[in-house]
Amino acid sequence: MKNGLNIRECSRIEYGQLLAKFEHTREAISFLQAPFYGAWQERDGKTVIYFVASEGKKTVAAGLAVRYDAPGGIRFLYCPYGPIVQTWTLELFEALRLFFAPIAKRTGAAFVRFDSRGMTDLPGIAPVANQLAVTASLQPRAEWLLDLLGDQEALWMGMHKHARYNIRLAERANARLAFYAPAEAPIDIFFNLMRTTAARDGFSIQSKKYYEAVLQSIPADSGLVAICTIDDKPAAASVFAAYDGIVHYVFSGSSNDFRKIAPPYFIIWNTILESRKRGWVTLSFGGITDNVKSTHLHGVTSFKKRFGGYQIDRPNPVDLIYKPFRYTLFATYKYTR
């Protein structure tokens, strides 16, 4: 390939080894590009492509892409918050376009979606429009983060008074919290709390098998499951996944029995303390209210912001189109739904 660029597929194991040594210069790597995220997608039956770009012996980019199905039998590959790139150049972008052409043909993908910051700074590279970007697999455009370093008292006082009140309320109710390695967590308790929350708040969840795949895929040193009990009854549970110093708030469910106590606040505060012990430096609460997904996350957003922190915004992704007609069908569906 020109300019000494070499891009190739690799195994998940090799990908993890290369990523651990990758001296990236941009923001921390999301767990969505971690090898264990690829593992749980594979356990869920999805096709995952792992790839690495190098110049000589130097790794300049790496990533994983997951194949998804869109309405009308259209397939696409999505690289969530990736690929991870030292510096975007037009040469690298074009090399990746050529690299994915035979992969798109092999997997039946009409397009490949990149979601990496810095691409749209390149001349002639434009992100997709908001309405076209709305897919079930697209990650949030706005996230809420909290730095965990520094003084514990400062973190405590940086929270909204309502958050502190709810934490103390749970303590007065003799709430108890247990941390589990993901693969050792009681899946039935967690899943039942997820189902309760979904029924109460009117959203759909994945199957129990999917959550089992998630928990079996996250290594013991890369996440935890927190389960809060009150009066010896499950009150709330949350799953956290960590990579490259960031611990991510991934899933959460709670009982209807203790809503006035609000045990999720108790879980978050104690997970902050546990994360500091484990050397994780940032907590990502995940998505907050944004325009791209056209969702109403006001209550969730308020909950997350009460712990203090800051917002980061991401540009829309870029689509590499390999089957123009099928991509047009996909776009037409998104614009007319």
Please, which pLDDT band fits residue 297 given cuts at 50, 70 and 90? Answer: low
Element (DSSP H or E) covering residue 253:
strand 246-254
Please, which pLDDT band fits residue 26 given cuts at 50, 70 and 90? Answer: low
DSSP characters for 150-196?
S-HHHHHHTS-HHHHHHHHHHHHTT-EEEEE-GGGS-HHHHHHHHHH
DSSP characters for 281-293?
-EEEEEE-S-TTT
CA angle 281, 285, 287 (to 5 degrees): 135
**Contact status, residue 226 vs residue 185, Cβ threshold 8 Å:** no
Please, which contacts does 206-211 make with residues 24 or more away whose CB atoms are closer than 8 Å?
209/44, 210/44, 211/187, 211/251
CA angle 253, 46, 28 (to 5 degrees): 65
Helix (H, G, I), strand (E, B) or coil at 50: strand
How large is the average pLDDT for residues 59-63? 94
pLDDT at 298 over 80: no
How large is the average pLDDT for residues 134-161? 90
Lowest-confidence pick of 37-41, 286-290, 295-299, 311-315? 295-299
**Contact status, residue 49 vs residue 38, Cβ threshold 8 Å:** no
pLDDT at 96 over 50: yes
Which pTM was predicted?
0.92
Burial classification of residue 219, based on how many CB atoms lie within 10 Å of its CB (0-12 exposed, 13-18 middle, 19 or more buried): middle
User: What is the rounded distance in angstroms from the CA atom of residue 208 to the CA atom of residue 158?
Assistant: 36
User: What is the rounded distance in angstroms from the CA atom of residue 138 to the CA atom of residue 81?
Assistant: 9
Contacts of 112 (CB under 8 A, 6+ apart): 65, 76, 77, 78, 79, 100, 103, 104, 319, 320, 322
Please, which pLDDT band fits residue 24 given cuts at 50, 70 and 90? Answer: low
How large is the average pLDDT for residues 151-158? 97
Domains of the chain: 2-139+316-336 (3.40.630.30), 143-313 (3.40.630.30)
Lowest-confidence pick of 218-227, 277-286, 327-336? 327-336
How many CB atoms are closer than 10 A to CB 116? 24
